[in-house]
Amino acid sequence: MYVGKKITVSVIKADVGGWPGHHKVHPALMERAKELLSMAKEKGTLIDFYVTYCGDDLQLIMTHTKGVDSEEIHGLAWDTFKEATEVAKELGLYGAGQDLLKDAFSGNIRGMGPGIAEMEITLRKSEPIVTFHMDKTEPGAFNLPIFRMFGDPFNTAGLVIDPHMHMGFRFEVWDIKEHKKVILNSPEELYDILALIGAKSRYVIKHVFPKEGHRISKDEPVAVISTEKLYEIAGEYVGKDDPVAIVRAQSGLPALGEVLEPFAFPHLVSGWMRGSHNGPIIPVPLKYATPSRFDGPPRVVALGWQINRDGKLIGPVDLFDDVAFDDARRKALEIADYMRRHGPFEPHRLPMEEMEYTTLPGILKRLADRFEQL
């Protein structure tokens, strides 16, 4: 009954306590979240929902008709994280309430700590989507794979072969330092896009839109990524952003396999150990979304869904639970070893500018009067 009508998919996540340390979410937190979201579903606030985890991040996946930035939905997510925090406190979990950086909810959860990816879409007759969940990394970690899905013909054969995709897509890129955004056309402005998003700590892809003439209206997103940077909100290092994304697939969009293909290459991302190290991102099934070694290496989970005509989430399918990603995992572990051998040296450790919000400036300050002019 929602086919051809607007429906919103919201993925909102927060680290409200780890078990043990920053390892994973305790099942009791997920249970509490399920209770609260069930009540919201009974009340009609939500159409459907699913609660899961990636590492120490509690993940709420929801469908509803309230649009993006809805006070009701954001308030529900905030209350759910607050309640889960109470459970985390009772269990003595680590960093209870860590990502809830503000005391009181004031209408919108943005800028309060949790990460948000939401899109309002006109539901297609068949609507396959993938939600991606990362742990121990930052929003820019999505730049490379999202670019490859929607912009790289060596990844996405559809850009060459499918007449509905041949015109390319539009990328909305945010400058998260200057708080500005720009929309760039692919393939016409391919090199400009790459010039920006290659600098992934500053320029991040927020949305991908179709172009004029696509079956989907040019103003309706086909991909959205959470871009919240915790240190920008808190002014200091309080944990990693651990981004999420939603990607629509098929019928003039990248096929499911084209959406997943970029993760066969375990690219280097930042955020490993104390948010201060580069390392490979491993595509894993949920059962391995449990960063352990050196608090990592960073993980990515892909959950596949069909949204049915009633707006129900039919899934999840744990998409990286496939031997086809074994080689990527093996390669990632090899790269992890190689990177670890650098210890405190760059490029394993992040460059100075990106360490700005860690304790490193404190060390420099302490040594300031021992430095002599050359």
CB of 373 vs ligand F6R, minimal distance in Å? 35
Assess whether the previous peptide bond of 210 is cis (omega < 30° from 0). Answer: no
Of 102, 109, 93, 1, which is closest to residue 47 (Cα–Cα)?
1
For β-strands 170-175 and 57-64, DSSP reports them as: unpaired
CB of 69 vs Mg ion, minimal distance in Å? 24
For β-strands 268-271 and 277-280, DSSP reports them as: antiparallel
DSSP one-letter code for 178: T
Residues 9-48 that bind ligand F6R (CB under 6 A): 21-22
CB of 297 vs ligand F6R, minimal distance in Å? 11
- Residue 57 is a binding residue for ligand F6R (CB under 6 A): no
CB of 87 vs Mg ion, minimal distance in Å? 16
Query: How far is the C-alpha of 356 from the C-alpha of 358, rounded, in Å?
Result: 6
CB 100 within 8 A of CB 80: no
Query: How far is the C-alpha of 303 from the C-alpha of 108, rounded, in Å?
Result: 26
In this structure, the chain runs to a length of 374
Q: Which of 24, 26, 136, 214 binds ligand F6R (CB under 6 A)?
A: 136
275 binds, among Mg ion, ligand F6R, none (CB under 5 to 8 A by kind): ligand F6R
Question: Tokens standing for 186?
Answer: 């692919």
Nearer to ligand F6R, 274 or 349 (CB): 274
Using CB under 5 A as the binding criterion, the count of chain residues that bind Mg ion stands at 9
CB of 54 vs Mg ion, minimal distance in Å? 7
Residues 89-118 that bind ligand F6R (CB under 6 A): 95
Integer CA distances (angstroms), 157 to 208, 210, 261, 273, 290, in order: 18, 17, 11, 36, 33
Q: Which of 9, 10, 24, 57 binds Mg ion (CB under 5 A)?
A: 57
Nearer to Mg ion, 15 or 354 (CB): 15
Binding mask 213-252 for ligand F6R (x = CB under 6 A): --------------------------xx------------
Integer CA distances (angstroms), 72 to 6, 30, 107, 227, 308, in order: 17, 20, 8, 21, 23
Q: Which of 17, 55, 254, 283 binds Mg ion (CB under 5 A)?
A: 55
Site residues, Mg ion (CB under 5 A): 15, 18, 22, 55-57, 135, 239, 242
Site residues, ligand F6R (CB under 6 A): 21-22, 95, 136, 239-240, 273-275, 295
